[in-house]
């Protein structure tokens, strides 16, 4: 049997061994727990990454779907088909002289493909310009038109410039150069003979050149006479000029009085082209048609002197007035339509008036010079005096060209001043 001290030593050593074992066991348990926790965290991170990946795939699939519906992933053939749809719709609308809204384009030409508007519209513009010599141009809104001539609002420093918002409506406009249009409108005898021969072969014309039962042979490439009422087109230009130099609007009574100077009345009758169902039309009905086409516009406004800031009680009394009394306090004012701004422009009309006035002034001055020369030739003057006077007339003729330019510049400034501000020009299409 071992001594007592030895037994105590063995006991203390066994306790130490047992304590170390328990500590090692606890460390092993802690290690196992930490390993399990690390495994759990790794599993969680893996699941999170998998979830993020699925979300990214979902977003990509949605983006791909959006691209397909919006034109980003459209094939070239599909985009070409959509562009041709817009072209056909625009040509059909031009036959009616109507405007084409963006909503109509999306509904009729781009069904379920409205997000492809921009690329399809650009393709349609290329087809129209290259094939038909036309382009779609956006109309200005009536609000924008009514602000013409007003001074632009002063913008604060750092403020963003407000973008001009159009009417989201489009019309077809020719892209042919004016020089080409003018040349194509000149009569050509060879072309006229070829047209008559073709009509004779079809049995639509007799042997004589004047025996054209259709009235189609004109000998010009652009036969405006067969499709446009030439006389009424001239009247429309005169009305646009009168409205422009009257501050961009003119009361109907004043317009009627101005037209009387041209021997034009509301019931004046004008011939219509052969393809029209009506053979003739009155000026009043023609102006109504121009309102539908938005070449002209008429608005009803309060007459000068009518109460504008009446109280509620006075407004109630005014509503109780008779129809005749109400009409007496209102006048109809005529303005340019938005189509006129897009097709003609104020600047073009001003240049037309300036050129017309300059030519009239120059012709009158030349007539007076010719008269002076005739009077001098008829007079019994000496040879020396006649030569001296002749030299003066020739110098006067040379000076006349420069004076005509100065006169034209003065006329143009007067037109701008009468219009009430800077004139609009034709805006290029997008």
Q: What is the pLDDT of residue 62?
A: 42
Given pLDDT bands bounded at 50, 70 and 90, which one contains residue 165? low
Given pLDDT bands bounded at 50, 70 and 90, which one contains residue 126? very high
Q: Is the pLDDT of residue 158 over 80?
A: no
Of 146 and 236, the structure prediction assigns the larger pLDDT to: 236
Least confident of 164-173, 264-273, 375-384: 375-384
Label the pairing between strands 100-101 and 134-138: unpaired
Residue-wise pLDDT for 385-403, tens only, equals 445 555 566 777 778 888 9
Q: Is the pLDDT of residue 245 over 90?
A: yes
Of 140 and 6, the structure prediction assigns the larger pLDDT to: 140
CA 270 to chain centre: 30
**Do 76-147+166-180 and 224-304+312-343 show the same overall fold?**
yes
Q: Is the pLDDT of residue 34 over 80?
A: no
Q: What is the pLDDT of residue 147?
A: 84
Mean pLDDT value of segment 268-287: 87
Q: Is the pLDDT of residue 291 over 80?
A: yes
Least confident of 14-18, 90-94, 287-291: 14-18
Given pLDDT bands bounded at 50, 70 and 90, which one contains residue 322? very low
Residue-wise pLDDT for 169-222, tens only, equals 999 999 999 899 889 888 888 988 888 888 888 877 766 555 455 556 678 888
In sign, the C-alpha dihedral spanning 272, 274, 276, 278 is positive
Mean pLDDT value of segment 256-284: 90
Q: Which of 28, 193, 166, 15 is nearest to 99 (CA)?
A: 166
pTM of the model: 0.70
Task: Write down the architecture of domain 76-147+166-180 according to CATH.
Answer: Orthogonal Bundle (1.10)
CATH 1.10.10 fits 224-304+312-343, yes or no: yes
The rounded distance, in Å, linking the Cα atoms of 171 and 93 is 8
Do the beta carbons of residue 166 and residue 204 sit within 8 Å? no
Mean pLDDT value of segment 280-293: 94
Least confident of 60-69, 204-213, 289-298: 60-69
Q: Is the pLDDT of residue 45 over 60?
A: no
Given pLDDT bands bounded at 50, 70 and 90, which one contains residue 336? very high
Give the percent of the chain with pLDDT over 90: 41
Return all residues near 425 (Cβ < 8 A) that are at least 6 apart.
Answer: 345, 346, 347, 348
Query: Which range has the top average pLDDT, 26-35, 89-98, 275-284, 349-358?
Result: 349-358
N residues, the chain:
430
Q: What is the pLDDT of residue 216?
A: 61
The rounded distance, in Å, linking the Cα atoms of 27 and 21 is 10
Mean pLDDT value of segment 222-228: 71
Given pLDDT bands bounded at 50, 70 and 90, which one contains residue 68? very low
Backbone angles phi, psi at 251, to 5 degrees: -60, 150
Mean pLDDT value of segment 361-372: 85
Give me the residue spans of the domains in the chain: 76-147+166-180, 186-220, 224-304+312-343, 346-419
Mean pLDDT value of segment 316-343: 73
Q: What is the pLDDT of residue 207?
A: 64
């Amino acid at each position: 049997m071992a001594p007592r001290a030895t037994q105590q030593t063995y006991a203390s050593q066994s306790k130490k061994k047992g304590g170390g074992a328990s500590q090692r066991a606890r460390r092993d348990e802690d290690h196992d727990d930490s390993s399990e926790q690390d495994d759990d965290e790794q599993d969680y991170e893996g699941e999170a990454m998998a979830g993020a990946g699925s979300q990214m795939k979902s977003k990509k699939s949605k983006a791909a779907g959006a691209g397909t519906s919006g034109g980003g992933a459209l094939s070239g053939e599909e985009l070409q088909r959509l562009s041709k749809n817009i072209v056909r719709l625009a040509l059909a609308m031009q036959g009616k002289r109507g405007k084409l809204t963006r909503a109509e384009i999306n509904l009729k030409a781009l069904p379920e493909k409205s997000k492809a508007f921009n690329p399809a519209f650009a393709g349609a513009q290329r087809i129209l310009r290259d094939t038909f010599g036309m382009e779609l141009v956006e109309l200005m809104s009536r609000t924008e038109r009514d602000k013409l001539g007003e001074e632009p609002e002063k913008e604060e420093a750092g403020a963003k410039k407000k973008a001009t918002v159009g009417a989201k409506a489009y019309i077809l406009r020719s892209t042919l150069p004016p020089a080409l249009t003018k040349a194509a409108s000149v009569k050509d005898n060879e072309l006229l003979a070829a047209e008559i021969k073709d009509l004779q072969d079809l049995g639509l014309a007799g042997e004589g050149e004047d025996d054209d039962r259709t009235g189609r042979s004109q000998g010009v490439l652009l036969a405006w006479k067969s499709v446009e009422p030439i006389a009424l087109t001239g009247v429309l230009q005169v009305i646009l000029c009168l409205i422009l130099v009257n501050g961009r609007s003119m009361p109907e009574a004043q317009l009627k009085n101005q037209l009387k100077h041209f021997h034009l009345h509301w019931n004046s009758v004008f011939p219509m082209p052969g393809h029209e169902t009506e053979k003739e039309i009155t000026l009043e009905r023609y102006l109504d048609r121009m309102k539908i086409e938005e070449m002209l516009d008429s608005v009803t406004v309060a007459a000068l002197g009518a109460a504008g800031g009446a109280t509620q009680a006075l407004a109630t009394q005014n509503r109780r007035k008779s129809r005749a009394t109400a009409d007496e306090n209102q006048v109809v004012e005529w303005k340019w339509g938005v189509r006129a701004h897009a097709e003609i422009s104020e600047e073009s009309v001003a240049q037309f008036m300036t050129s017309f006035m300059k030519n009239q002034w120059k012709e009158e001055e030349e007539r007076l010079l010719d008269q002076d020369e005739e009077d001098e030739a008829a007079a019994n003057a000496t040879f020396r005096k006649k030569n001296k006077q002749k030299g003066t007339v020739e110098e006067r003729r040379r000076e006349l060209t420069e004076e005509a330019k100065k006169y034209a510049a003065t006329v143009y400034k007067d037109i701008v001043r009468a219009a009430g501000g800077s004139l609009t020009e034709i805006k290029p299409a997008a």
